[in-house]
Amino acid sequence: MSPLPCPLVAGLLDDAALFPPGNAAPADAVAARGMYESSWYAPLVGAFVVRADRVPELLAALEATDDGPVRPLPVVVVTPGGLDEVAGAVAAAADERLRLAGVDVPLGAVAPDTVLLLRTRMEVPAGVPLHVELSSTVDPAVAMPVLAEAGVRAKIRTGGITAAAFPPVRGVARFVHAAVTAGVPFKATAGLHNALRHRDEDTGFEHHGFLNLLAATSAALLGGADLARVEALVAATDADVLVRELEHLDDDDAVRVRRAFTSFGTCSTVEPVEDLAGLGLLRRPGVGLVGAGT
């Protein structure tokens, strides 16, 4: 297989080392981050994800580490308590050692409300994206136009530590198709350690693949694919099927796809890199990745 276009993978991996199932200690996560930033795959590494209530721990770890990440460290701050915590999350990240790269907030089972989201969006600095995580009980086809009107982005949870945390193929496909149709950029979180959809032999969980989401997004955005086609790509387990959807992309097309599917959070940064490299879809620097951006 040929390597994917550089802009298609640059900044794709948000560093969620502090979250399950990795649950890294802040000091270990900071040390690992420094290693990632000096590695050959550094261009793939996106922002560092941290819960708002753990920002002080992160700052302490940064202070104690000499050979850590480049500062200011780009961070996405997650507010588990919902919209009421957004202002506090922004304040927590107001430190010279950090650069606020985004705020993520779960909506729970509540359908999005335009007025409330607009009010919350005003609490986030201009140019900093606000992602709202939609519950699987919320119809994305109804929710996405509301998010578009409010100028916020969407987030989908694609896995977790229980079987119930993994949404069905059709649910993921409906989310992707609705987001692309409404012009709402989105990100994913949890369970996407591997490129391809697969069954984990240890847990029995059916994991979604991030290459699947890239291909499904490309098909919907650039090819006008209907929901059935998007669903087929989300369900695919054959790398060739997905690569055929992506191999024709030039850099401009790749940038457009990544503006739609912005990144995904992973507690393991190395595993997705190894997966792409093992499929022959990555090049080492000197042949393409260094300096690439979306």
- Tokens matching residue 57: 């721990």
* Burial (0-12, 13-18, 19+ Cβ within 10 Å), 79: buried
Closest by CA to 231, choosing from 174, 149, 153, is 174
Query: Which amino acid, 233?
Result: L
> In whole angstroms, how far apart are CA 205 and each of 164, 167, 188, 208?
9, 11, 17, 10
| Residue extents of the structural domains in the chain | 6-278
pLDDT string in tens for the chain (294-residue length): 788 999 999 999 999 999 998 899 999 999 999 999 999 999 999 999 999 999 999 999 999 987 778 889 999 999 999 999 999 999 999 999 999 999 999 998 888 999 999 999 999 999 999 999 999 899 999 999 999 999 999 999 999 888 889 999 999 999 999 999 999 999 999 989 899 999 998 889 999 999 999 999 999 999 999 999 999 999 999 999 999 999 999 999 999 999 999 999 999 999 999 999 999 999 776 544 433 333
H or E segment to which residue 133 belongs: strand 130-133
* Burial (0-12, 13-18, 19+ Cβ within 10 Å), 229: middle
Say how far apart CA 33 and CA 70 lie, in whole Å: 9
DSSP code of 48?
E
Say how far apart CA 206 and CA 242 lie, in whole Å: 18
Task: Read off φ and ψ for residue 28, nearest 5 degrees.
Answer: -70, -40
Please state the length of the chain.
294
- Give this prediction's pTM: 0.94
Q: Which CATH class is domain 6-278?
A: alpha beta
